[in-house]
Structure 1
Amino acid sequence: MATIPSHALRHLTLTRPWLRKIRCTTSLAFSSQDLLLTYPDDDNNNNNDTDHTKKTTNSKSQAFFPKKNQVLELECESLAFKGKGVCKVADSGFVLLCDNALPGERFIGRVSRKKGSYAEVTKLKTLSPHRDLVDAPCEYASYCGGCKTQNLSYEAQLRAKEQQVRELVIHVGKLSDKNSDFECIMKPIVPCDVQFHYRNKMEFSFGSQKWLPKELLHEKLDGNDNYALGLHAPGYFDKILNVDKCLLQSEPANKILATVQDNWKDPELGLSPYNVHSHTGFLKHLVLRTGRNMKTDLPELMVNFVTSSYKPEMLKPLVEKISAIPEVVSIMNNVNTSVGNTSVGEEEYTLYGKSTITESLRGLTFQISANSFFQTNTHQAEVLYKLIEDCAGLRGDASEIVLDLFCGTGTIGLTLAKKAKHVYGYEVVAQAVADAHRNAKLNGISNTTFVQGDLNKIDENFGKHFPKPDIVISDPNRPGMHMKLIKFLLKLKAPKIVYVSCNPATCARDIDYLCHGVMEQNIKGCYKLKSIQPVDMFPHTPHIECVCLLELC
């Protein structure tokens, strides 16, 4: 886990209600994974800050600070960002975070890291299980970091996610839950009807070091036995948890994964995994994407091998095996010659079939290339985009201008274009902009303009090349919106902003700025939050999507 920078600690102080006057930094350099998404219970949060300060000056929590390697008995109270359990030492307010701890679970933990206002704990032994225990159907659930809450009932997962958003809106967004309209603003979370096999894209890594659980560490692995294809073990960049299937991806994708697993380590093929230490080896990643044939409505799959060099003859035996699977319509090879281990290559080759697959969303057809961004859960994206469309509230008379910020491949803007006069989209990734143009043409949409540009680096000229919008759609990545963009929006004063967020912490911060301004920079807010709708896009994971509607005061 990366070291949490000092300014992110301000979010941790939100667990102390008497420190709520401290504002979030206006810098966006911090990572969203550094932000807590939930807070310990507080029975006195109606008291003013001064009273809290007086009451806590001599509190036990001020005197308590655990030592590294100290063993403590703890109870998990709630979940934080990335699914960490939030715990407090008995009779103190000191906060400890623990991986794989779930609400209601009592356990013995050892302090592994200390920070200024909290510490991290490694769970040693469970004393009593959490209150919503279920059997995790995945055999890798206790080792893999992908599905942290698979052994928590789905109803409990939804409650935890909704509570995280609620607490953030109150403490960071500064929306009082005592207001009569709070429950109208804070909507119940929208569940996902499909809780397994919902991902249309999975990225697996090849590795020269197989990760083993503690009980198997005594086993000595040599040569190919130490090779692995799967997912990075939590906390390791160089060790791979070998997996034969993943319950989050489609069944045809699991069929492909099993075929690759059965063949890639055959000595006769001469294939070697990339070694991140020596920077040698050939195979880096296996990326599987699932689309849909628009004529048959059956799944069609793309297989993308990411390699350190272009040697198609070495992949030929695998290509022959995989192409025999009926659902496979595309096998690609991305070549990444850099020492970095990303799945995007500098060059791309088609080894079998076509270079794109297709998918349908909100009545439109999208072509998806190996490196295209597309919503990972197609089924729930239909729900999400319907919510966005409802919040936008376009009249449908082709009279309104839409500004689509962080537009990606244009999926949101294109689904709104049929009701708008014109959609202007901005996106930093050149390939995504090219995909947006291609998808507009594919669907016969002519009232869209997509422009490449970095919205974190806008200047005073931004906004001069398009008319004032009636509606702004903003869908930033996890760090949220840069202060430059927030200032622009406050100056622009569009009647309506629909804010789509994958990080409730930075979402709540930006809502605060848009509604209440930034006092230390003498910036006044001019919006009112009308609704915030959490959406569970990825069951069994800590991720939460939110659709927020703000209207000009």
Structure 2
Amino acid sequence: MVAEINRLDEKGSGQAVVWRENEEGNLKKLKLTIPQTLPGEKVRVTVDRPDRRRWKALPDEIVEANSQRTEPPCPHFDKCGGCVWQHWTYEGQLQHKTNYVKHAIESQGFDPSLVQETIGMDDPWHYRNKMEFTFAPDGSMGLHEQGNFRKIISLETCLIAGKEMVEAAMEVAKWAKQHELSGYNKDAHEGLLRHLMVRQSFATGEIMLALFATEGPQDHLQETADDLVKRISDKFPQVKSLLWMENTDWADRTQSEKTHVLAGRDFIYDEMDGYRFRVWFDTFFQTNPTQAQKLVDLAIEMGQPVKSEKMIDLFCGVGTFSLPFAKQVGELVGIEIVETSIESAKRNAKDNGIENASFLAKDARKGFDQVIEEFGKPELLLLDPPRSGAGGKVMRRIGRAQPERIVYVSCNPSTFATDIKELEPFGYELQIVQPVDLFPHTVHVECCAVLVKKL
């Protein structure tokens, strides 16, 4: 059957509706989800189960193409789940992301004209400084298939990761195959190799390779581990952290019960905005450093920090925003629930000679209450919450504290819109929303916005 794509869903797949006549002559609606399609396209698709009300399938043929359709450059695009929009021109992706943010804030009653055009990248390829690859049960390494977390697509390349990262990862994959090491079987809960995390600082060039396995590298695996060290040391001198992580938990996450440093140290150095950061395997650090720098610059421009002011950085992480802001305010307090991130933030502040910033390891609500009681009312507040948003209780606490200016950095326009709606009764006005594309060829878009207390 031929269907017309009328919109894209939250995962970036085309949506279409067709009406079919059943045996009784009645019309029945069929909702189709068709990945790798674009709005306005007419596509031919096969429905194996005509009795279903919903169906998902790749298109058999593009009957009428969107003018912004382009040829995907990656040989794995048809199957790999790492990207969803390589078939769309970058200009088209940016337009869609701008409209998505406009729709999100308009749905909460805000003026969509406050949303600026999305800031894209000059070169939207090889932008990621962190990747997590997964081993299949046969020991091959790759990324999950689109929509199927049980199947791993073996990779020859990856066009969104840093080139040196991919080369180092492919060397680990070759090592695993030559030693005939098994991958982890999620159903049987057996096998050795689970994941490979690769991180690289584009500023310092340092690379981290963290191999997650169900056993440690000692005993019968020692010679195998030694061979990995030799291969990596010979070919990739920029690898300053080579780790073997033991993870026996059933959960499919990159976590470690015991860390073995095979070579180098257990962290790498990264830099942003002239500040140096230590990055461990589990440190949250912006994945696209080029665009992250633009986010920091935007936040400072919107926040207009003053040397005499107090500031709170809520959901501060390791201090990505805290350190550059601390240089421009009188006193800053960062709040973050993850204790390892707070320890990193303290260490990063010390490494960079920042003496007017302190950090508190508590959840946002309790931490905010404590800081307001001890620190007093801040003139400036910045928050950068997770995708789930800050939530109504936190936003109302912010509103009651009455900071003069609020800078909100968001990775989810929908929760951003519902969060800032909570500030309206407290007299805040949304002034500008600037989307920034940190993840080209995916559905994700970041925003930086400022709200000001009306006089």
Would the TM-score normalized by the shorter structure come out above 0.5?
yes
Residue number in structure 1 paired with 2:80: 144
Partner of 2:439: 538
1:167 corresponds to: 103
Cα offset for 1:436?
0.5
- The equivalent position to 1:384 in structure 2, one of 287, 295, 319, is 295
5+ long unaligned stretches in structure 2: 20-26
Cα distance in 2, alignment partners of residues 97 and 385 from structure 1 = 37
SS at match of 2:261: strand
Q: CA-to-partner distance for each residue in 1:468-495, whole Å, 9 max, x for gaps? A: 1111111111111122101211211111
Q: Give the distance between the partners of 2:17 and 2:91, measured in 1 at CA.
A: 24
- Compared CA separation, residues 459 and 470, structure 1 to 2 (3 A): closer
Contact 1:112 1:122 survives alignment (8 Å): no
Q: For residue 227 of structure 1, what is the aligned residue in structure 2?
A: 139
- In the other structure, the counterpart of 1:468 is 377
Question: Are the equivalent residues in 1 in contact too, given 2:135–2:184 (CA < 8 A)?
Answer: yes
- Find out whether 1:305 has 2:216 as its counterpart: no
Are residue 366 (structure 1) and residue 277 (structure 2) matched?
Answer: yes
Amino acid at match of 2:449: C
Of 166, 177, 190, 1:265 maps to 177
Q: What amino acid does structure 1 have at the position aligned with 2:196?
A: L
Size of the alignment, in residue pairs? 439
Paired amino acid for 1:151: H
Deviation of 1:96 after TM superposition, in Å, equals 5.2
Task: Give 1:386 shift.
Answer: 0.4
Distance 1:84 1:468 in 2: 45
3-state SS, counterpart of residue 150 of structure 2: coil
Partners of 1:370 and 1:413 in 2: CA distance: 21
Equivalent position to 1:331, from 216, 236, 242 = 242
SS in 1 for 2:245: strand
Question: After superposition, where does 1:407-422 map in structure 2 within 5 Å?
Answer: 407-422=316-331
Deviations 1:415-469 (A, max 9, x none): 1110011111111111111111111011010111111112266696563132211
Map of 2:6 onto structure 1: 77
Contact 1:107 1:123 in 2 (8 A): no
Q: Which amino acid aligns with 2:334?
A: G
Asked whether the equivalents of residues 79 and 160 of structure 1 are also in contact (C-alpha less than 8 Å), the reply is no
Contact 1:85 1:101 (8 Å CA) reproduced: yes
Could you tell me whether the CA contact under 8 Å between 1:103 and 1:131 is conserved in 2?
A: no
Cα gap change, 1:97/1:503 in structure 2, threshold over 3 Å: closer, same or farther?
farther
1:283 and 2:218 matched: no
Does residue 322 of structure 1 match 2:322?
Answer: no
Amino acid at match of 1:74: A
* Aligned counterpart, 1:246: 158
Residues 45 and 59 of structure 2 are in contact (CA less than 8 Å); yes or no, is this contact kept in structure 1? yes
- Measured in 2, the distance between the counterparts of 1:364 and 1:242 equals 37
CA distance in 2, matches of 1:93, 1:440: 59
Q: Does the 8 Å contact 1:245/1:257 carry over to 2?
A: no
Cα distance in 1 between the residues matched to 2:263 and 2:48: 49
Q: Deviations over 1:348-404 (max 9, x none)?
A: 221101222112211111111122111101111111110011111113xx2111111
Mapped to 1, the partners of 2:105 and 2:16 lie a distance apart of 21
Q: Which residue of 2 aligns with 1:529?
A: 430
Identity of aligned residues (%): 33
Whole-Å separation in 2 of the counterparts to 1:163 and 1:93: 28
- When residues 155 and 161 of structure 1 are mapped into structure 2, their CA distance, relative to the original with a 3 A threshold, is same
- The 1:112–1:461 alpha-carbon spacing in structure 2 relative to 1, beyond 3 Å, is farther
The answer on whether the counterparts of 1:113 and 1:121 sit within 8 Å (CA) in structure 2 is no
SS in 1 for 2:398: helix
Distance apart, 1:135 and its partner CA? 1.3
SS at match of 1:358: strand
For residue 422 of structure 2, give the secondary structure of its aligned residue in structure 1. helix
Confirm or deny: 8 A CA contact 1:473 1:497 kept in the other structure. yes
Would the alpha carbon gap of residues 169 and 86 (structure 1) be closer, same or farther in structure 2, given more than 3 Å must change?
farther
Report how far residue 498 of structure 1 moved: 0.6
CA contact (8 A) 2:133 2:141 kept: yes
Distance (whole Å) between structure 2 residues aligned to residue 306 and residue 121 of structure 1 = 33
Q: Aligned pair 1:403/2:312, yes or no?
A: yes
The 8 Å contact of residues 136 and 151 in structure 1, kept in 2 or not, is answered as: yes
Correspondence list, 1:482-493, <5 A: 482-493=391-402
Q: 1:318-338 deviations in whole A, cap 9, x for unaligned?
A: 222112123222201222121
When residues 481 and 330 of structure 1 are mapped into structure 2, their CA distance, relative to the original with a 3 A threshold, is same
**CA RMSD across the alignment:** 2.5
* Amino acid in the other structure paired with 2:419: D
Q: Distance in 2 between matches of 1:255 and 1:427?
A: 35
Tell whether the 8 Å contact from 1:111 to 1:120 is kept in structure 2 after alignment.
Answer: yes
Equivalents in 1 of 2:56, 2:215: separation in Å?
42
Q: 1:113 to 1:321 in 2, by over 3 A?
A: farther
The alpha-carbon deviation at position 254 of structure 1 amounts to 1.6
Displacement after TM superposition at 1:525 (Å) = 4.1
1:439-450 alignment to 2 at 5 Å?
439-450=348-359
How far the C-alpha of 1:412 sits from its partner, in A, is: 0.5
Relative distance call for 1:79 and 1:168 in structure 2 (3 A) is same
Partner of 2:423, secondary structure, is helix
CA distance in 1, matches of 2:163, 2:192: 27
Q: Which residue number corresponds to residue 547 of structure 1?
A: 448
Matched with 2:340 is 431
The Cα shift of 1:302 comes to 1.0
